[in-house]
Amino acid sequence: MNKPFAIKDATLITMNETREVLPSAAIIIDGNRIAAIGPAGQVLMDYPDIDVIDGRGKVVLPGLINSHTHIAMSLQKGVTQAVPEGLYRVMWPVEKALTSEDIYDGALIGGAEALLNGCTTVVDHYFQIEQITKATIQLGLRGFLGHTIMSRLGPFTGENELREGIDFVSRWKGKHPLVTPMLAPHASDTVASEWLRELRQEADRQQVGLHLHLAQSAREQAYINDQFGKGCVEYLAEMGFLKPDVLAAHCLYIEDHELALFSQTGAHPLYCPMAHSLSGKPMRAWEMLQTGAGALIATDCVCNNNVMDLLGELRIAGAGQRQLTGDRTAMPSMKILEMVTVDAAAAIGMDGQLGALIPGYLADLAVVNMHGLHAVPNYSIVDNIIYTCTGRDVEMVVVNGDVVVREGKLLTADEDELIELAETKGRALIKRAVENDPDLSWMWQ
């Protein structure tokens, strides 16, 4: 077990029930739990021989929870940006050229980027999820992980994918403290109705969550409407698929009457601010929140976002929703922070364990350096975190009590080696994809 340590004289954004902010405070980490928080002098008296880290000028946040990622896609950074129907025209053809090694290496690179930017938990959805599981464990990154299941259209489809998605849950449930398996059907249009019903039953039986894309494209919306005469959200709601254990990414192409279905079913729509803004189709996140929906914030993949910087994403979330609604009071800063901490923790079944700095909670946290020209003076600490900070301000990250980033440096992998790996493996992947599909020749320069 790790030796206890403390961070002292920092500002703690506790995200407890009263959203208490503690200046000049200390937090004690003992094993994989938060042992104590409070005024530095008072708390440290009970731990006279503890290792102490100076927190002056720094803010300690609960570790950020990224509720929709594909970390292994880091080898495909930016390939669908500004490409109409990039999912169908670029992403899937490129993915046909993926190897198991690509997925493992990509997950190492993407997971490392997430950690360096203050994210301690990813909710990830991809093919060959065993490779991603291996990478997250190596990095010390907490993962809620699901094997992508598709019955039609995508690069990897068929009964074997369904069985692997279900078997992954059976293999990994309760096996490792950093790994929580989920079921991950791809989307409403790429997974057959009977499979969706089976996965809903399996989730109930095994008591695990479901993670999918929903109403993410006009093509998906048109297919569901043609086949079933209703919208994508309505289709899943009437099927009984949508429940509080469902994380539904994007939810862009929906009708007005479908907005209330999230609060009625408890399913969580996932807002990916940069990806949605770049697509030209923002999610109506603030409207959904007003109906009582448990919306969360995520980055999605770097194919259409380009960075795994969840902290930096928060600024875009606020600005994007205010521009969309014309309401300068929309998406207040505290709500934004809740959506990547306490709200996200509750949505993944970790309420009372993650998402807040409270004694007894798991020790997942990020330390942000706010001693810089861009972040002073601090008249409103939470506003400053949302609107002045990015992942580059993260100095330290702790996951399950283990320090995985210190002084801005990743401790669980060599960052220079990962940069080289991204360059060589990424270019090799695109070259193979172009050789396999001449329609992608414009990608190789």
* pLDDT higher than threshold 70 for residue 279: yes
- Percent with pLDDT over 90 in the chain: 93
pLDDT at 85: 86
pLDDT at 63: 98
Least confident of 41-50, 157-166, 177-186, 396-405: 41-50
**Mean pLDDT in residue range 37-63:** 94
63-100 residue pLDDT tens: 999 999 999 999 999 998 878 888 899 999 999 999 99
**Mean pLDDT in residue range 389-415:** 98
Structure tokens at 153: 């259209």
pLDDT at 53: 97
**Mean pLDDT in residue range 274-296:** 96
Structure tokens at 163: 């069985």
What is the topology classification, in CATH, of domain 64-347?
TIM Barrel (3.20.20)
How far is Cα 79 from Cα 202, in angstroms, rounded to an integer? 35
The residue written with tokens 């993650």 in the block is 354
pLDDT at 204: 98
Q: Mean pLDDT for the chain? A: 96
CATH hierarchy code of domain 5-62+364-409: 2.30.40.10
pLDDT at 8: 97
309-336 residue pLDDT tens: 999 999 999 999 999 999 999 999 999 9
pLDDT at 326: 97
**pTM for the whole thing?**
0.97
Task: Please report, for the chain, the start and end positions of each structural domain, with discontinuous segments joined by +.
Answer: 5-62+364-409, 64-347
246-262 residue pLDDT tens: 999 999 999 999 999 99
375-400 residue pLDDT tens: 999 899 999 999 999 999 999 999 99
* pLDDT higher than threshold 60 for residue 1: no
- Position 193 confidence tier, pLDDT thresholds 50, 70, 90: very high
198-223 residue pLDDT tens: 999 999 999 999 999 999 999 999 99
